Chains A and B, each alone.
Chain A
Amino acid sequence: MSAAKRVQQWATFARSWHIFDCKWQDPYESAHVIKKYLMGMHKPIYHPMNDCGDVVVCINSREIALRGDEWRKRAYFHHTGYPGGASWTLAWELHNKDPTMIIKKAVYRAMTGNLQRRHTMQRLFIYPGENVPEDVLQNVTNQIRQIRYVPKRLDHIPEEEVKNYPKVMEYPEDFVVK
């Protein structure tokens, strides 16, 4: 067996750790990617009855991005079980209370509801910022590719680059630059 194959086999049968940076990522899109690693669906030996899922560490969950007006339109429902115990929490309110909750619920909902789901969720670690405990970070061997590009702010681009960037629009002659 070649060295590369041996590593591949080791990675398949071991419980390897992946890291995912949630910065500017849509949680509902990335949940479908994270789910595959958590359940082990990226492995050739995957079977629902075989416990081959990996561990995923999500960082920067405070900086997730929702599309359009989702922050104020998406509501999370909870019912206490008592009459009148229903409550609807908007996404931005939930994110204010717990910045890890939206991504957690998104991954939970992306998986099918069976007895395994709660155990699979135990393998998901979410951190609101970049501060990850050292004992967690030293296990990580792989990084999951982000789905969307992290947009660059205009004030973070150097002024020289903005000035020398190819221009599309030309001012008309009688224009006063404000």
Chain B
Amino acid sequence: MAGLVRLGYSLAKKSILSTTTRVISTTNQLNIKEIRERTEGTNLVIEGVTLPSPRTELLVRPPNVTPPLPNIDLSLTKLPSSEKPPCYMCALGLDVKHTDVLILSQFVRSDGCMLPKRITGLCKRQQKKIGKMVSMAQKAGLMINLTPSNSKKDPTKRKDYKKFNTYFDETTIFKKREMRWTERFKFRANAK
């Protein structure tokens, strides 16, 4: 039933958007390609070659986990949450801090923006955790070469309190906000 609804929704979306955007593509339209030209006798051959990712050789994966499938969204499969394989960051079990810029910089664009979940292939919790740690590192001025062009790169030239060194506590990422004393008082008053 849900599949039918999704199909109908996508058809409706395509019928509306087809006038402005091209939806049909024979090749994977976003692939990184290099254009090569060579001559074979009298013919000039121009071809686009998909480039291999520069990261593949350096990739670290836990040994007992199947290779990652970033293109397949795990949430769409019918597995219950207990049977889902852990995402690669959960399986690696690394204790990443916000100062580990060599790891965090792998999850950002060149403007320092965190990549979305469909690209990183992380689980929901890890995506949130790493996203928060990226913003911590940015606030602490540790990744200033990965920032938008209009931002103040040098942390010492920032305004007011932002120009001083700040460190963060990673345990606060998933901490629930404590109820204030006054709020607790109101809650009790309503219960009676």
Q: Which positions in A face B, CB cutoff 8 Å?
A: 24, 26, 63-68, 70-72, 90-92, 95, 148-149, 151-155, 157, 161-162, 164-178
Q: Are B55 and A171 in contact (CB under 8 A)?
A: yes
Contact status A65-B71, CB under 8 Å: no
What are 23 A-B pairs at a CB distance below 8 A? A65-B166, A65-B167, A67-B167, A68-B168, A70-B166, A71-B166, A151-B99, A153-B142, A154-B102, A157-B102, A166-B60, A167-B60, A168-B59, A169-B107, A169-B121, A170-B68, A171-B119, A173-B31, A174-B29, A174-B31, A178-B109, A178-B110, A178-B111
Instruction: Check if A71 sits within 8 Å of B161, measured CB to CB.
Output: yes
**Is B169 in contact with A67, judged by CB distance below 8 angstroms?**
yes
Evaluate whether A71 and B164 lie within 8 angstroms (CB atoms) in the complex, with A169-B106, A174-B28 already known.
Answer: yes
What residues on B are CB-neighbors of A174 within 8 Å? 28-31, 71
Closest-CB distance, A18 to chain B (whole angstroms): 22
Main secondary structure of the interface of B (DSSP, over half): loop
Count chain A CB atoms within 10 A of each CB in B30, B102, B165, B169 and give the residue with the most.
Answer: B165
Q: How far is the CB of B111 from chain A (nearest CB, A)?
A: 8
Given A71-B166, A175-B32, answer yes or no on A170-B59 (Cβ-Cβ < 8 Å).
yes
Question: Which residues of A sit under 8 angstroms from B31, Cβ to Cβ?
Answer: 173-174
Question: Would B70 and A168 count as touching, CB distance under 8 A?
Answer: no
Residue of A nearest to B160 (CB): A92
Which residues of the other chain, B, contact A153 by a CB distance below 8 angstroms?
Answer: 101, 141-144
Interface residues of B in 34-92 (CB under 8 A from A): 50, 53, 55-56, 58-60, 68, 70-71, 88-89, 92
Across the interface, name the chain A residue whose C-beta is closest to B72.
Answer: A172
Q: Which residue from chain B places its CB closest to the CB of A177 in the assembled complex?
A: B32
How distant is B72 from chain A, measured CB to nearest CB, in Å? Answer: 10
9 A-B pairs with least C-beta separation:
A92-B161, A65-B165, A71-B161, A151-B99, A155-B145, A167-B55, A154-B101, A174-B30, A172-B70
B105 within 8 A of A: yes
Choice from B102, B141, B165 contacting A165 with Cβ under 8 Å: B102
Find out whether the CB atom of B55 lies under 8 angstroms from the CB atom of A169.
yes
- Contact of A72 with B99 in the complex, beta carbons under 8 Å: no
A171 to chain B, nearest CB (A): 5
Q: Is B11 an interface residue when CB atoms closer than 8 A count as contact?
A: no
Q: Which of B32, B92, B140, B145 is the one whose CB lies under 8 Å from A176?
A: B32
Least CB separation from B70: chain A residue? A172
Contact B58–A166 (Cβ < 8 Å): yes
Whole-angstrom distance between the alpha carbons of A111 and B16 in the complex? 71
Cα distance, A160 to B13, chains bound together (Å): 46
Contact of B53 among A64, A65, A151, A171 (CB under 8 A): A171
In the complex the two chains form, is A167's CB within 8 Å of B142's CB?
no
